[in-house]
Chain A
């Protein structure tokens, strides 16, 4: 069972995906200098009303095994310790301990 931080992150990812198109549309209007300032301001206000977890920056790659937020290898979605444990157990395809 993933811990609460991972669950929160999953929620954020789903909300980002659900609101991405509308968010881009508002961003386009708000950042377009050729549009009248009033329209741009309205778009910015709409952007502010979107929830916290619709922003892609709230998404953080966490360890899928332990939920750790630091020392993550994003390709494997694992933190460095879980990566080591799994790699030594031959649970990650194509990864083996270096020896020369």
Chain B
């Protein structure tokens, strides 16, 4: 009969089972943090989610001598030059705090 088995006998059974199958005997179910060590690492599969994309800017930078041109970047530089020539370029960087337009506005 199952009801006649004492708790101590059951505990002994569990202990023997742990010895046989080489698992940790933890009768009080104390948290050991082992699950964080046991779990597989998820990072390697995480970085593989997106298919790799060619970085044209970087390609053009590394193979500049081979004649690879980043057309978007070349166009942007050309536009900046055009704007500067028409007097529509970005304002010059402030040399010190006093020249900053932000501080000038506050005064």
Contact = CB atoms under 8 A, between A and B. Distances in A.
11 contacts: A2-B50, A13-B49, A17-B44, A20-B43, A24-B41, A28-B34, A31-B33, A31-B36, A32-B33, A33-B33, A34-B32
A24 B49 contact: no
Interface of A: 1-2, 6, 9-10, 13-14, 16-18, 20-21, 24, 27-34, 56, 59, 61, 64, 77
Which bucket holds chain B's interface residue count?
A: 10 to 19
Contacts of A29: 33
A28 B49 contact: no
A20 to B, nearest CB: 4
Contact of B53 (A2, A16, A18): A2
A98 B53 CA distance: 31
A33 B51 contact: no
Contacts, number: 59
A5 to B, nearest CB: 12
Interface of B is mostly: loop
Nearest to B42: A56
Nearest to B34: A28
B2 interface: no
B46 interface: yes
Given A31-B31, A33-B30, A17 B49 contact: no
